[in-house]
Amino acid sequence: MGLRTKLLWPLIACLTYLFFFTVRLKPVTDNSSELDPATIAAIEEEELRLLQQNEQDSSWQWQYIPHHQPDLEQLTANEPLETLVVPEVTYRPDEKFITFLTHSGFQNQLIQVENGILLAWYLNRTLLLPNAFLGEAFGWSNFDKLHLEHMLRDSSTTETCSEFAEGLVEWGIECPPRGRYAVLPFDEIFDLSWAKKHVRILPRQRSDFGWLEKEFDIQRDNVPNHVNGSYRDGDILFFKGETRYDWRIFDTPRKNHRLGKYADSLDIYQLRQRPERLLHFSSLFGTGKLPIRRPEHYEFLRNLQRSIIYRHPAVLTMAEKIVDRLGGHGNFIGLHVRSGDGWFIKALPENVNNIISQIQRAVESHQPGSLRAILRPTEQRLTLDQCRHLAATQNVTLVYMATDARSPQLNPAFDPVWNLFPCTFTLDDIFSPLSSDWDTLERVVDRNSGASLRKFLVPLVDATVASRGWFFIGSKGSTFSGYIYRLHDVFWSNEKRQQLGLEEV
């Protein structure tokens, strides 16, 4: 059999596959069960070729110009620091996009963002990244309600939300008071520089469809609205989930996919063939939404997650002040005790006992024989200066506890911590709420309202400090604890690499 003949059959199989998924439009569902093994193999071979080509082909490269960041020295000045100005962007006429709507708490939003970046990389589409919402959160709901929640928080929306009066009545929600939340671009909070080397990411400055049309000429044909399901409206292919676990998106075509708690499935090969300029998902919620089977995809996600660390200059500067008061990096154990909402309120005693056990094991392993000094009961709580002295002279270990509890010293559930580890301190123990040391955060203001963003950035400072301990212990089941574990691992890995004269990763 000649070389031409050998190449012919895989080519026919690929063309058949491409044709089949291109002509299909409504609804978009999983048809991987119809693929034979030869077709699957040909698709996976093409996948690898495209990945290699995209790494080499300069036509897919774009210039990344980072936002202007205030110099850290500027943080000592008295002028307020406004949130960053987003530069104007341009786009290619043939450029394809993907976007979604965030929801839930801040850490769950980050999981959705990571899923969005991974999916954009899979599909070689530009990600229109929604803003981050800090403070009072709104949970998952269907597309139209989520879309309204986003538009209510756009900077162009009036303070009374009068332009959305009809929608507020329809969905039974109130205009969110502006003092209860803050809106920031994700790349102002997190370092997305590694991600932007692999995926073109543009900020979705407004949530309405008019903005998409004005900025990117993404048109709709005013197709009757569908509450749920997948359908096309002009340049947009909508994926409107009926539940928060709607479509599970796989990185390999298979005859049978394990859906778990998800309602339906898609694969990236289907989505790559879609001609629509914008794929618009209602949500990309869930750590299991994009299960990974291919090693190169897992490696990308691992590098992506390790690269997304805090970058806000005021947050980092404030954290360094607190770490210095604790005696420097690695001079303490970091904790995160979540206690303020939901399941964590009921689970607080169990979490505290579990954390105490882990501290005891860590200290005994790190400083054998030192537990006797740590566990001495004290009638009066020790000061930070006293504890730093004891840490230097008697091997007493300092503990820094990040927590959402407002007054943990008054909560009996925390008593075992203070009794067994009297050198445990929280943020308020180090800098009182009225201290001028908080000016670094106080001067970070919203550019629209002029209000300080301090209260929304404090949890990020708390997390950063906890991650700088020589050991970190989090709360079971907390995604925020999971992120602090990541910060801790990345920070200390880079410290070790610097000591060895290696480049940070």
Q: Where are the domains of the chain?
A: 3-44, 87-307, 313-499
Q: What integer pLDDT is reported at residue 29 of this predicted model?
A: 42
Say if CB 98 and CB 114 are below 8 A apart: no
Domains 87-307 and 313-499 share a fold: yes
Is the pTM higher than 0.85? The answer reads no
- Contact of 97 with 216, CB cutoff 8 Å: yes
For residue 83, the model assigns a pLDDT of: 53
Q: pLDDT for 158-188, tens place per residue? A: 999 999 999 999 999 999 999 999 999 999 9
Q: Which sign, positive or negative, has the C-alpha torsion 50, 55, 61, 67?
A: positive
Task: Give the CATH number of domain 87-307; options: 3.40.50, 3.40.640, 2.60.40, 3.30.70.
Answer: 3.40.50
Residue 86, pLDDT score? 55
CATH T-level topology, domain 313-499: Rossmann fold (3.40.50)
Looking at residue 132, its pLDDT comes to: 96
Q: How far is CA 490 from CA 119, 191, 359, 460, in A?
A: 24, 13, 21, 16
Where the chain has pLDDT below 50, the residues are 3-4, 6-7, 12, 15-35, 37, 40, 43-44, 47-48, 50-77, 371-375, 377
Total residues belonging to the chain: 505
